[in-house]
Amino acid sequence: MDIIILNNIYHVIDAISYGLYAFLVGGLLLGFHRKIIARIQGRPGPPIIQYLIHTFKYYLKEISIPITAGNPLYIFMALMGIMVWLTALYLGVVFKTSLLILIGLYVLQKIVEHGCGLSSGSPYGKLGGVRSVFSAAAEVPLFAAVGIIYILTQSLIIKDIISYQLLNGPIIFKLPFAAFAFFILLISKAPNSPFGIVKDKSIVSGYITEHFGILESLILISDAIAWFVLLWLFIAVFIGPIVILNPLLTLIGMVILTFIISIICALTPLLTPNHSVMLQILITALVIIDLLHKSATI
């Protein structure tokens, strides 16, 4: 009996340390992202650990719940961000289960954005939330990409996809369209991206306008974990076991990917909501045509 409990405690500590690792790595990468954008724009930029400093600073700030907020949704949404991405971390990185579950969890991130925006009752938050609903088009290429991957590997379990790549080499060369769709997703999740209409500065801070203090700190934590998980997923699904089986190489791969994405983010303007959505729909159409072509040939 005691052994089971000790074992369980061991697993809990294991899980929490995984989460902490993902948060630290993700936070540092996001700080790095900010630094590179600053350097490209000719500014010195904040130190790389700025993201983590922000998180800790907000964690110790006082909050007060706005009178317009709808509770407990207002608080629960900030918690849900971490829940979603910790679940994605465990199911994806630790247990390597189905890719479809991870896509479902990614989709829940939209619910978090929307819920944060609408539950506060602030007009800026509402605009951010409605824009987040608009940009749901970013997920559709993902589903098509999942279909293409399934046609190629006959499995959506990440473990199977990795072992497929062990035999046949990286998928990125076989499915460039699917990889491109996934890469667009990474870009649209990055801060200051051309698709970042949700956090456009013209609507203050978008959906996190009314989530300040500790609630903002929670959202920053979830964003850092999300960045880690998404980069890991891209590397695992498209580049494969050469990089993913060695933690150090994985870290280097993540840094390189963040570098590429930062350069793209720094050099592109922010699109208007309609244009951002329509561009994503064009990409969707491209990937769906690829999917139909692939499934017709098999």
> Within positions 128 to 147, which residues make up the interface with another protein, using CB under 8 A?
129-130, 133-134, 136-137, 139-140, 143, 146-147
Nearest distance from residue 284's CB to another protein, in Å?
A: 6
Whose Cβ is closer to another protein: residue 137's or residue 236's? 137
Instruction: Report the residue from 37, 119, 180, 240 that binds another protein according to the rule CB under 8 A.
Output: 119
CA angle (101 as vertex; 99, 105 as ends), nearest 5? 115
Region of 10-18, 39-47, 226-234, 257-265 interacting with another protein (CB under 8 A): 10-18
Instruction: Report the residue from 67, 202, 248, 297 that binds another protein according to the rule CB under 8 A.
Output: 67
Examine residue 100 and tell whether it contacts another protein (CB under 8 A): yes
Nearest distance from residue 287's CB to another protein, in Å?
A: 12
What gap in Å lies between CA 217 and CA 56, rounded to an integer?
7
Q: Which of residues 21-60 bind another protein (CB under 8 A)?
A: 59-60
What gap in Å lies between CA 193 and CA 201, rounded to an integer?
12
Examine residue 178 and tell whether it contacts another protein (CB under 8 A): no
Buried b (16+ CB within 10 A) or exposed e, 61-83: eeeeebeebeeeebbebbebbbe
Examine residue 184 and tell whether it contacts another protein (CB under 8 A): no
258 close to 59: Cβ distance less than 8 angstroms? no
At 179, list the tokens. Answer: 């990889």
What gap in Å lies between CA 48 and CA 53, rounded to an integer?
10
Q: Which of residues 189-218 bind another protein (CB under 8 A)?
A: 213-214, 217-218
Nearest distance from residue 242's CB to another protein, in Å?
A: 23
Whose Cβ is closer to another protein: residue 32's or residue 195's? 195
CA 67 → CA 70, 122, 204, 210, distances in Å? 8, 10, 20, 11
Examine residue 240 and tell whether it contacts another protein (CB under 8 A): no
Q: Helices 214-234 & 73-88, crossing angle to 10 degrees?
A: 30
Burial class (CB in 10 A: 0-12, 13-18, 19+), 87: middle
What gap in Å lies between CA 219 and CA 23, rounded to an integer?
12
Examine residue 150 and tell whether it contacts another protein (CB under 8 A): yes
What gap in Å lies between CA 145 and CA 173, rounded to an integer?
14
Instruction: Report the residue from 154, 247, 248, 297 that binds another protein according to the rule CB under 8 A.
Output: 154
Instruction: Report the residue from 34, 126, 189, 199 that binds another protein according to the rule CB under 8 A.
Output: 126
Whose Cβ is closer to another protein: residue 3's or residue 248's? 3
125 close to 210: Cβ distance less than 8 angstroms? yes
Q: The tokens 């840094």 sit on which residue?
A: 255
Examine residue 16 and tell whether it contacts another protein (CB under 8 A): yes
Q: Which of residues 68-97 bind another protein (CB under 8 A)?
A: 68-76, 78-83, 86-87, 89-91, 94-95, 97
Q: Which amino acid is at 236?
A: A
Whose Cβ is closer to another protein: residue 38's or residue 63's? 63
Whose Cβ is closer to another protein: residue 62's or residue 247's? 62
Under rule CB under 8 A, how many of the chain's residues touch another protein? 89
At 292, list the tokens. Answer: 């139909």
